[in-house]
Structure 1
């Protein structure tokens, strides 16, 4: 990633997610509990009752395996840094009983409903907001002009009528308990989401960026340019080499940045040449001045790419 998202508070949505996860925890713990009041009026309660009934009929080792999957899969940060291995639907269903197959089917119904339908219900919209409202807050708090994964695609703003799609970093088709989980939901541009990532599972490729990482991001493009031709691009970093490899495999970042730079190279060089004539300065001085201008708001107007190209000339 070229930059990390800022974590920000959203108490209403977080409270809703915590209540849902509490229901799962209570079912796994086999304790007597009451559903949240808002849940009693909607389909979700009957879906949970179906799941609960099938879970109780499953084998003890299957119950334990599913509770373990819940505990692990909600730890998105630890899954990303490879200190926790997530548990997939395939892992759960391997050698399972018929009742447990039905239990997992009921769980998939819940997971689909949580993301596709829950935040469209009138009562919850009034209290929690829609995913569009969440995107607006996300944009204002965390997004720096362009998609952090490619650094090229612009992101719809908080003022636009529509929003970018939220990506499930850990695919909800492969893993249970991640469909409505804030740390597994974040917006990326349409090209990254639909053309490159799709339903790919980043963890299949190794260590991955945790999108809300609190460390400093030192990823920088480094070009090799000879006689005005871009020959190579590498991504330099002291801390994230494993993550960079996965990032490139999933999103084809090196080729996309290199292609973008090739298309814009002549224009960026022309800007420098024009400055030589306008300000009556030498080429090196003009280039260095342009590099300095690229250091502020570096994601805006793709200045981080332009800076790297000029430094390689």
Structure 2
């Protein structure tokens, strides 16, 4: 997203999805009289797993009994749909790919019930089992990161001591065929995953139009924040509280989707800028006091604000600097005398208190 994950190729985490795909492909020749014999339809290694898990075995059998009664065209269509989404990373950038037939309602209609959806949901609960080593999968992703923060917001820390949530990029409630597909799963901070993205469809708008979603294992967004439409607090007699507004540069489909899915602008303003603005300004003044920089001159204030902006921009993913860097750049160039006078007032109070 803001930066890329390295996808852990050929990890054991992929095996569960591969076993499912093999199973479905083996069903092409079934008919209404076919019996659910594990060795006929499953990889030998997975047979042992099923024998240890009666509930999982039961979910497979329920789907098997529904699938075997389908007509040949329906069987072929379902198998095609599952095989076609195996390179699922492609659908995020190619908006010509129609995924309506892959959605839950279409799959349920094709099968005649929700037996595959129930199987897919139960399979995802199995992902946490030690045999799939999802912890090791996460560690490979984490260790390869230059920045140990969530790439979807760029702010919240990703932890090494425990595994972060694995988000379904295309939600499993809507796309059961990729419920356990590793290329549809990515670590994400709790705020991005549970509190904001949730079950939003990243591939279709609410109006049903396909859209581009930047795929975190192969692409990223290059974006900066623009505060040029903002009203700085205490600088407008008709609006003493000010009004902060964030624009994206560039403003395009990718950044619009990013904002809509993760509620970026609102979170950046509500959780970080608005509650911390006065602290950031006071810290700026205090640092200048400690460095014996006289802030009684607006040109010098601009110079120092610009210097702080460059410092924040150099360490983009530390302490909300991706907000603070563009913010201080904006303040340095705002040409707002009331704002610069307020900096001088804070400075002189600090110096007087010292």
Sort the TM-score into its range (normalised by shorter chain). 0.7 to 0.9
Q: Which moved more, 1:190-199 or 1:179-188?
A: 190-199
Q: Which moved more, 1:218-227 or 1:46-55?
A: 46-55
**Contact map agreement 1:172 1:179 (CA 8 A) in 2:** yes
Residue 350 of structure 2 is matched in structure 1 by none
Distance 2:103 2:285 in 1: 56
Q: Give the C-alpha shift of residue 218 in structure 1.
A: 0.9
Distance 1:261 1:71, change over 3 A: same
Residue 264 of structure 1 is matched in structure 2 by 276
Q: Does 1:234 align with 2:247?
A: yes
Choose 1 or 2 for highest CA Rg.
2
Distance 1:262 1:295, change over 3 A: same
Structure 1 unmatched ranges of 5 or more: none
Q: Does 1:186 align with 2:183?
A: no
Residue 253 of structure 1 is matched in structure 2 by 264
Q: Give the C-alpha shift of residue 90 in structure 1.
A: 0.8
Name which of 283, 306, 309 aligns with 1:288.
306
Distance 2:45 2:128 in 1: 12
Distance 1:242 1:174 in 2: 22
Distance 1:136 1:308 in 2: 32
TM-score (norm 1): 0.82
Structure 2 unmatched ranges of 5 or more: 31-38, 234-241, 294-299, 332-354
How many equivalent pairs are there? 296
Q: How well do the aligned residues superpose, as a CA RMSD in angstroms?
A: 2.8
Distance 1:52 1:141 in 2: 40
1:103-252 equivalences in 2 (<5 Å): 105-120=114-129, 125=130, 128-129=132-133, 131-142=134-145, 144-155=147-158, 157-160=159-162, 163-205=163-205, 206-215=210-219, 217-224=221-228, 225-228=230-233, 229-237=242-250, 241-252=252-263
Distance 1:202 1:256, change over 3 A: same
Distance 2:258 2:328 in 1: 24
Distance 1:118 1:294, change over 3 A: closer
- 2:227 aligned counterpart, secondary structure: strand
**Contact map agreement 1:167 1:193 (CA 8 A) in 2:** yes
Name which of 105, 112, 115 aligns with 1:90.
105
Distance 1:303 1:257 in 2: 11
